[in-house]
Amino acid sequence: MFSVVRQVSRARTSLPLRATRPCRSVVFGIPFHRTLVTKRYTEEHEAVTFDDSTGIGIVSITDHAQESLGDVVFVDLPTVGSVIGKGEPIGAVESVKAASDIYAPVSGEILEVNQRLNDEPNLVNRSAEAEGWLCKIKLSEPGEMNNLLTLEGYVKSYES
């Protein structure tokens, strides 16, 4: 058995080296574009994940916020199609401890809301920044993302 493996490995190493072509932006014959997905935070405990290729941001509350709130029992979602400005209230989260308003971290049009939260508000507790997202916004001013906090800046904002 060992000699067979040795023979195969020798055969592969004896193959002549070929020049390779530079890699193109094509996968399985389909052209693709690189995208940049950025996640930023507000001091009010909202997070937005922005995809620069689509111009869409996904808004959620932070994991730290859901921990502070406790068990979420109701989520008030914004209206699809509404145009909102940065800092405007877009909904609320109610828990057994307290209620908290949600503010738009960026300006734009509400494209979609997470309907699952109507039946499963505790999804915010289980996965605040992923499955428990609140809404998708088509950003009207993508540059507003630069004014939001990085993860490090956000952590410093509530630790101090």
Sheet holding 89-95, edge to edge: 72-76, 89-95, 99-103
| Structure-token pair, residue 2 | 């060992």
pLDDT, tens digit, for every residue of 113-154? 999 999 999 999 999 999 999 999 999 999 999 999 999 999
DSSP string, 141-160: -GGGGGGSBPHHHHHHHHH-
pTM over 0.75: yes
Question: Which amino acid appears at position 89 of this protein?
Answer: P
| Structure-token pair, residue 15 | 């193959």
The SS3 call for residue 20 is: coil
User: What pLDDT is recorded for position 33?
Assistant: 54
What is the band of 160 on the pLDDT scale with cuts at 50, 70, 90? confident
Q: Does domain 37-142 have CATH number 2.60.120.10?
A: no
Mean model confidence pLDDT for the chain? 85
Rounded Cα distance between 140 and 101, Å, is 22
